[in-house]
Structure 1
Amino acid sequence: MTHKVHLVVLIHGLWGSPAHLLVAEEELEKAWAGSKTSQDISGPSEDPTITTRLTGVQSRSNGSSSRPTTKTKESVRQDGELVIMIAGGMTSQLTYDGVDVCASRVAYEVDQKIKELQKDGKTVNKFSVMGYSLGGLVARYLVGLLHSRQPSFFDKHRPISFSTISTPHYGIPKYNTLLSRVLSYLGARIMSRSGEQLYVADNYSDEDQRPLLEIMADPRSIFYQGLEKFERLEIYASAINDHSVPYPTATIEPVDHFAQWEQRHISVDSDADGIIQSWSVREDDRTEKPKNGNKKGWGIKMGTLPPVLRYRFPFNYIILLLFPIMLPLIVILILTRQSLDTRRSKHRLQLLSQTSTSSEGSYHIPHPSGMSIQALRDGIRRIERSLESDLVENVPLDSPSTSLFKSSSALFPHDHQNPNSSAHEDIDLKIELKDSQMRMCLWLNQLPLEKYLTWWPEIGNAHATAIVRDPKQFPAHERGRGLIKLWAKNTLNAAKA
């Protein structure tokens, strides 16, 4: 008898590792409410791929609750078996090589896992993917890469749930502050290809010189059409305090609705887990000018500084006294490390271009190192040339109108929809989007996206908290467990439909 399998792929972010997604795996296991039959860790120790297999509720474990492999009696419930795979082929420095190259490495892991399951007499009939931070962009490219196969990967493996957590969907946006402008300038230059793509400063190919993220958001692209095949599309993001991936790009919005939320007297209704149910600007304060707003100039306020600079007396004074000495050293160390990593990334890509091929009949990734940039370009463009698409005949590609922007979530009051609305006139901290980023907003919001926002004003680092990245070292990360539980429940409910 062939067992049916729902394969769920989890993809970590920039400079990440599979360990960052262990809580997501744990909560998915609990939501499944079945029995763990095995857990495998394969590949090199620095880039492991972690796979967990679970069967139905009829079986019970042998009493062991530890992380190592737990043997159980084989039993599969009617809706099959759940296999969770945390991708490991793009760990740490490898994430500098570009969204496309990283996606090809994950595609190789997916192919290998499916072959392994087939040898065990199991068929992957359902497929879901979740990407965290940069991993969400990798997941979007992965979807296009799988859909570009002939026949499409999704003709055989039913696409169920696609979700992202704290993902910069249109890249890292620039705000009207000196700090943001400096980081935007440096980020595009010291993080190899991934930095160029994240800051929308790349030209993907000679044939299509648009940035990669804009190409991926275009409704005519194989990436967009692959997303349309999923039964559920979800976005999870932090409304405030995510200093790595700000709210607008994580939720694909053209404005920062929660910028300077305290001065603007924004009222938020959230549940016990911090999931926002509704929000509004209090009517009695709507006409008042924000108090203590940022003045134009440096644009750096204490709330945007790292937590280490927000200590109370006397530590804050000690840090400030040492700051002129330590800052140059820290900057030099960071730039040196980033430069070395960028050099290593370029060397890896050069080696990859010498070994990777893109033959007309090859639609599977031949090596765990992935495919070269040119091979990926050629493969995607070849498929897209053969597609006859009229999806965007009536969409103005060069002059997107801000009046077309709308949110797919009921969380956004109507007077906050327009980036030019009067509700934002008195905000000093404003987002500055490129034309390509505005187009990405328009196109991606035409997808049936479900958006979930968290409200954690007490959390200093919402980016790590969103996936409970390291709860042992940072107990405050546990605040994000409710978000992960919601994601796990929604993912499995989509598979039952």
Structure 2
Amino acid sequence: MADHLCILIHGLWGKPKHLKNLATSLQAEYPQDKLHVLVTKSNSNSFTYDGIELGGERTANEVEEEIKKLEEGGNKITKISIVGYSLGGLVARYVVGLLYSKGYFDRIKPVNFTTFATPHLGVRSPLLGPHNYLWNVLGARTLSTSGRQLFTVDSFRDTGRPLLTILADPNSVFIRGLAQFKHRTLYSNIVNDRSVVYYTSCITYKDPFVNIDAVDLQPLAGYDGVLLRPDEPVRPKPRVPLGFWARVRSTGWSTLTAVPLYLLLAVLIPVGSMLFLINSGYQTIRSAQRVRLHESGGANFGIERYRSNPLLEEAQNLEERVFDRLNANQGQDYLPTPPSEDEERFSKSEHSGSKFKGQEKFPTLALTSDQFYMIEGLDGVGFTKYPVHISKVRHTHAAIIVRTNRWGFDEGKVVVGHWVKHFEV
């Protein structure tokens, strides 16, 4: 009988079937007599609008019920692993804090914690000036509670601090619980992830892949160039003057060939954006109703179990496509030189998790003080970080976990295969 439970948690607008390939790949390698896999379903579809906290409580309740059911059936669970995809990685980190605070890790050994394309630092685009306000502040209002938390404009339980900073606080149950896991691993797309860009999924303040033609990728041996080395994923290329035709291709010609696409987007984006905003407003109203019901005790379980004093004390101390398109169009800004106080402090820190060989040669993104704080907290507990280069498709956010079986997602199978191979049972 399996004594190891692995929990899989989907992302924003997600559903259990998005994780089918992760689950089947894991079970193909480790049969049910070695590993029991739970694909969570209590926080699916529009329920993901309701926020990381509420989603984490629903999921923790589902996990507790599963452990109880297994143990009543004779399966004593002694090991646990948790895997989150996209927003599910943040929900997973919240669940870890809840389980830790309730004493589960005193009797169940935490083994593997993994995230795929998770926005650990939120989804704020590194922007300065008016664009920062227009996108990061106004954009936060389109996804209800989850949107405010992802853009870090929320205040967790009236602490005056965004939830994501609480999740990264070294003194919190969330980080203390995370530190209990034997393995902490993340996989991060380096290009074409329109939902969760590299810097936030890889927990870093540098992005060496903004101009991928200007760098030499350093592949991890045996993985077809899809996975890059965690210690040195990239090296800058020597600058070589472009020839005549190269300059033509990189300027006028590429712009001319892109004109039909721009015309198409000029028509589709306003229409799609209007539909997105209308649906977003409707879902925000529905989400607020669910949250009020949840807070008033109308959930199918007692939320007081997850609102205990220790947790409060730690706190004190077309939808998806349109959103992806808007997010991808924001670009990134960099901090000015000389370096800011945050950058200066980080350049002297010993947090190897946020560094790789040669990282200092790349500029620092215009992150907020909260985001620098999150990096420090998360790198303090430590992650093994695998940059992922998927090149056959432009929807790498779905491809990284092979969310559907479609052409071009084979590179995602390489990523999943690596994860399964290094998963400890």
TM-score band w.r.t. shorter chain: 0.7 to 0.9
The TM-score normalised by the length of structure 1 is: 0.71
Equivalent residue number for residue 240 of structure 1: 191
Which stretch has the larger CA shift, 452-461 or 230-239? 452-461
After TM superposition, list the pairs within 5 Å mapping 1:106-117 onto structure 2. 106-117=59-70
1:449-470 per-position Cα deviation (integer Å, ceiling 9, x unaligned):
1111111233311111111001
* Alignment partner of 1:24 out of 22, 26, 45: 22
After TM superposition, list the pairs within 5 Å mapping 1:347-362 onto structure 2. 347-355=289-297
Do residues 265 (structure 1) and 197 (structure 2) align?
no
Q: Is the 8 A contact 1:160 1:230 kept in 2?
A: yes
Q: Is the 8 A contact 2:354 2:375 kept in 1?
A: no
Q: Is the 8 A contact 1:14 1:135 kept in 2?
A: yes
CA distance in 2, matches of 1:284, 1:399: 29
Do residues 284 (structure 1) and 284 (structure 2) align?
no
Per the alignment, do residues 405 and 482 of structure 1 end up closer, same or farther by CA in structure 2, a change over 3 Å counting? Answer: farther
Do residues 156 (structure 1) and 89 (structure 2) align?
no
CA distance in 2, matches of 1:407, 1:468: 32
Instruction: Determine helix, strand or coil for the equivalent of 1:167.
Output: coil
Equivalent residue number for residue 380 of structure 2: 446
Equivalent residue number for residue 411 of structure 2: 479
Do residues 126 (structure 1) and 79 (structure 2) align?
yes
Instruction: Determine helix, strand or coil for the equivalent of 2:35.
Output: strand
CA distance in 2, matches of 1:92, 1:180: 29
Deviation at 1:383, TM superposition (A): 5.9
The TM-score normalised by the length of structure 2 is: 0.82
* Alignment partner of 1:341 out of 273, 277, 283: 283
After TM superposition, list the pairs within 5 Å mapping 1:59-458 onto structure 2. 81-149=34-102, 152-176=103-127, 182-206=134-158, 208-262=159-213, 264-270=214-220, 271-272=223-224, 274-277=226-229, 278-282=232-236, 284-285=238-239, 320-355=262-297, 367=300, 371=303, 376=306, 379-382=309-312, 384=314, 401-405=345-349, 408=352, 412-413=356-357, 415-416=358-359, 418=360, 423-424=361-362, 431-458=365-392
CA distance in 2, matches of 1:180, 1:455: 28
CA distance in 2, matches of 1:449, 1:319: 39
CA distance in 2, matches of 1:202, 1:213: 9
Deviation at 1:172, TM superposition (A): 1.1
Q: Is the 8 A contact 1:173 1:432 kept in 2?
A: no
Do residues 463 (structure 1) and 397 (structure 2) align?
yes
Q: Which amino acid aligns with 1:125?
A: T
CA distance in 2, matches of 1:447, 1:258: 25
The size of the alignment, in residue pairs, is: 388
RMSD of aligned Cα (Å):
3.1
CA distance in 1, matches of 2:212, 2:291: 43
CA distance in 1, matches of 2:353, 2:28: 28
Q: Is the 8 A contact 2:400 2:415 kept in 1?
A: yes
Structure number with higher helix proportion: 2
Deviation at 1:437, TM superposition (A): 0.5
CA distance in 2, matches of 1:287, 1:273: 27
Runs of 5+ consecutive residues of structure 2 not aligned to the other structure: 248-252, 318-340
CA distance in 2, matches of 1:214, 1:101: 17
Deviation at 1:409, TM superposition (A): 5.8
1:204-262 per-position Cα deviation (integer Å, ceiling 9, x unaligned):
123x2111110110110010000111111111111222121111111110121222222
Q: Percent identity?
A: 30
Q: Is the 8 A contact 1:265 1:285 kept in 2?
A: no
Per the alignment, do residues 408 and 286 of structure 1 end up closer, same or farther by CA in structure 2, a change over 3 Å counting? Answer: farther
CA distance in 1, matches of 2:306, 2:170: 19
Deviation at 1:404, TM superposition (A): 3.9
Deviation at 1:156, TM superposition (A): 1.2
Deviation at 1:120, TM superposition (A): 1.1
CA distance in 2, matches of 1:405, 1:460: 35
Per the alignment, do residues 260 and 148 of structure 1 end up closer, same or farther by CA in structure 2, a change over 3 Å counting? Answer: same
Q: Is the 8 A contact 1:408 1:445 kept in 2?
A: yes
Runs of 5+ consecutive residues of structure 1 not aligned to the other structure: 35-53, 56-80, 293-301, 304-309, 357-365, 388-397
Per the alignment, do residues 327 and 229 of structure 1 end up closer, same or farther by CA in structure 2, a change over 3 Å counting? Answer: closer
Per the alignment, do residues 334 and 27 of structure 1 end up closer, same or farther by CA in structure 2, a change over 3 Å counting? Answer: same
Structure number with higher strand proportion: 1
Per the alignment, do residues 456 and 322 of structure 1 end up closer, same or farther by CA in structure 2, a change over 3 Å counting? Answer: closer
Equivalent residue number for residue 7 of structure 1: 5
Q: Is the 8 A contact 2:114 2:185 kept in 1?
A: yes
Q: Which amino acid aligns with 1:276?
A: L
Equivalent residue number for residue 328 of structure 2: none
CA distance in 1, matches of 2:240, 2:362: 11
Q: Is the 8 A contact 2:2 2:36 kept in 1?
A: no
Q: Which amino acid aligns with 1:91?
A: S
CA distance in 1, matches of 2:58, 2:170: 25
Q: Which amino acid aligns with 1:333?
A: L
CA distance in 2, matches of 1:467, 1:182: 32
Q: Is the 8 A contact 1:406 1:445 kept in 2?
A: no
CA distance in 1, matches of 2:203, 2:97: 19
Pair member with larger Rg = 1
CA distance in 1, matches of 2:315, 2:196: 34
Deviation at 1:410, TM superposition (A): 10
Deviation at 1:158, TM superposition (A): 1.0
Q: Is the 8 A contact 1:163 1:233 kept in 2?
A: yes
